[in-house]
Amino acid sequence: MSVQRNVFARYLKDLSWGKLIWIGLRLERKQPLLAVDSVMALEKLGLDGDHRCLKTPGSARQVTIISEESIALIAKYSGRGGIDPALLRRNLVVSNINLNALRHQQFSIGEAVFEATAQCHPCSRMDRDVGPGTVAAMLGHGGLCAKIIRTGKIQVGDQLIPIIPESL
């Protein structure tokens, strides 16, 4: 375990559990996301049915996650009343958890186990798809990329539970 993992992991005990509130799959590259109620998260691949699942096995960007609270901030910073999660091109929307505290950590949603790998930065398509100023509004609030460590079914309403290393 790296030093960075230990620095973040010691704060996991203080996190409240989050909740999965939205799931989106993109069947093909550059296509709109399709909202679903449940999906199989496939170890080392991605979400079953999502185009990324067919890409490089073991990728650090198998799944993208953003929080409902970050979406609200993005809407506020970009001067919008609200933003449809599908427009932000993230697979999962969770609520009631600070995703930044999960960076480089493992967590479960439903039957699956994930590991957050990196921040998910916005791309220029955000300004085109959502509106001018969205890229700037998303900086620091774009969520996380994750890989799937253990296959399992996830569904809207499942809890996101940080996995606390036994050494803590």
Which is it for the CA torsion 131, 155, 99, 58, positive or negative? negative
The pTM score is: 0.89
The pLDDT, as a whole number, for residue 55 is: 81
* pLDDT exceeds 70 at position 12: no
Structurally, at CATH architecture level, domain 3-162 sits in Beta Barrel (2.40)
Say if residues 27 and 34 touch (Cβ distance below 8 Å). Answer: yes
Average predicted confidence (pLDDT) for the chain: 89
Q: Which of 75, 68, 140, 69 is nearest to 103 (CA)?
A: 140
Burial of 74 (0-12, 13-18, 19+ CB in 10 A): buried
In the sheet that holds 46-47, the strands lie side by side as 46-47, 38-42, 152-155
Alpha-helix residue ranges (DSSP H) falling in the chain:
3-9, 68-77, 125-129, 134-138
Tens digit of each residue's pLDDT (9 = 90 or more) over 94-119? 999 989 888 899 999 999 999 999 99
**pLDDT of the residue at 45:** 95
pLDDT band at 15 (very low <50, low <70, confident <90, very high): low
pLDDT value for 37:
98
